[in-house]
Structure 1
Amino acid sequence: MEKAIPLERMVFFSDAVFAIALTLLALDLKLPLGIPPDRLNAELIDGLPELFAFALSFVIIARVWMSHHTDFFRIRDFSPGLAWLNMLLLFFIVMLPATTSVLSDYGGNPSPWPSVLYAATISGVYLSLAGMWSYAWRKGLTDDSVDAQEHRRIFRGRMTAPAVFLVSIPAAFILGSNTPYVWFLILPAALISRRLSGRKAGVR
């Protein structure tokens, strides 16, 4: 009971931070005021990169929140180390609206830095999430249903996204504004990781 109360407070606090991050994302979705009717189509087309950045960040925050929610059904005990790792995750979550704004405003420029900042933030999100899960399991904070095989399966799944985004960081200095196309590799990478995990589970 003593450990349940701080664990619940940490989860409730995390939920609030995730909600605030999603709200901040939506605040950047706006068109300039006073657009002439004959310019509306052009302005909407010009806003597609901003909409893409918003949609990608929204999906990532939503998926990370669902993973975080699922993890804490299985994490039963609290520790200060777990709390600090959770704060590291929230740090990258609250950074995401800012780097999303930079990507949507300047992603079309030849400079690699908008893509680099965004990819580094996403990598930080998933690496801290994976680190928190691994820490909880190694410290015995998870329930008894989480064995070594289950721990590895979830950990490998969490490493798919940062692998793609980390690869895109050096690629950004060559590809420039075309770097976001690299991020679509996350779809086949996630599929391959899922199939490999399923195959290993079937063999065992």
Structure 2
Amino acid sequence: MRNPDNNILALPILKKKAGERGVAGKEGIGKSRLEALSDGIFAFAMTLLVISLTVPLVPDWEAPALLPGMIADMFPEFLIFSIAFFIIAGYWLAHHRILRSIDFVDDRLIWINLLLLFFIVLIPFTTSISGDYNAVLEAVLLFHINLLCASIALTLIWLYIRNQYANLTNDTEPERRRIQFDTAGRVRALAIPAITIVAIFVSFINPAVSMWCYLFIPILMVAGRKAAQLGRSHD
């Protein structure tokens, strides 16, 4: 007779303690391997970004005269590199905050996570293209759409885990382990996709200027945190 607990296609996302049953009634897979894979890919993508910063070779005797100008001309590439680096760092931090709220993952969450990692791996490629051709609409759009897709994938992970938690009763998971969609959390989740959509529209007017839109992300983060603090003080 087949043991239903051997069905690996219906693993739960959570369980309370070892040996207890989770949301779907079966034990889940530990999240450590998923975190290790994700951390490695995030780190690798952040490291690959620097490859897009290359200075043309010039003869040694011409370097003192030409090098300062060439480095100054690299400012657009450096700007896009910086934006991509800190956005990937933001994705990693958000990913860490989401996964620390759970102990176990299921197949669906693994595949959604792999979708996120697919778009993260593409960021160095689209960063390099948009850095080399920052005035070309198609090149810049590729970068914006890449970030938008990564943001959507990360949001799907967040929503999937939140919905799994919604199926749990208060005595199943401690309050401190729950994912709270407070004001700051909502702003963090929506800041990058919202700014990316704005940047896409701006790129049709001026592709190079559209990159500056991402500088508003820290402002939105601070505003969200202040709004959350204000809301708590009124409660």
TM-score interval for Structure 1 and Structure 2 normalised by the shorter chain: 0.7 to 0.9
Task: Give 3-state SS (helix, strand or coil) of 2:206's partner.
Answer: helix
Q: 1:155 to 1:134 in 2, by over 3 A?
A: farther
**Residue number among 23, 42, 49 corresponding to 1:18 in the alignment:** 42
Task: Give 3-state SS (helix, strand or coil) of 2:181's partner.
Answer: helix
Task: Give 3-state SS (helix, strand or coil) of 2:58's partner.
Answer: coil
Shift of the alpha carbon at 1:64? 1.5
Q: 1:101 to 1:136 in 2, by over 3 A?
A: same
Summarize deviations over 1:66-119 as a string: whole Å, max 9, x none. 222222221222111111111111111011001100111000x2x322222211
Q: Which amino acid aligns with 2:181?
A: H
Is the contact between residue 160 and residue 186 of structure 1 (CA under 8 Å) also seen in structure 2? Answer: yes
**Residue number among 136, 160, 164 corresponding to 2:161 in the alignment:** 136
**Alignment: residue pair count:** 200
Is the contact between residue 14 and residue 90 of structure 1 (CA under 8 Å) also seen in structure 2? Answer: yes
Shift of the alpha carbon at 1:59? 1.1
Task: Give 3-state SS (helix, strand or coil) of 1:21's partner.
Answer: helix
Is the contact between residue 133 and residue 155 of structure 1 (CA under 8 Å) also seen in structure 2? Answer: no
More helix by share: 1
Give the distance between the partners of 2:110 and 2:102, measured in 1 at CA. 12
TM-score between the two structures when normalised by the length of structure 2: 0.76
Task: Give 3-state SS (helix, strand or coil) of 2:132's partner.
Answer: helix
Give the distance between the partners of 1:112 and 1:189, measured in 2 at CA. 26
1:165 correspondence with 2:185: no
Q: 1:124 to 1:80 in 2, by over 3 A?
A: same
The runs of 5 or more residues in structure 2 that have no matched partner are 1-17, 19-26
Larger radius of gyration: 2
Shift of the alpha carbon at 1:146? 4.5
Corresponding residue for 2:95?
Answer: 68
Give the distance between the partners of 1:155 and 1:139, measured in 2 at CA. 18
Summarize deviations over 1:39-60 as a string: whole Å, max 9, x none. 0111111111111111111111
Corresponding residue for 2:230?
Answer: 199
The runs of 5 or more residues in structure 1 that have no matched partner are none
Give the distance between the partners of 1:200 and 1:120, measured in 2 at CA. 34
Question: Alignment RMSD, CA only?
Answer: 2.2
Task: Give 3-state SS (helix, strand or coil) of 1:139's partner.
Answer: helix
Give the distance between the partners of 2:225 and 2:207, measured in 1 at CA. 31
- Runs of 4+ residues deviating >6 angstroms: none
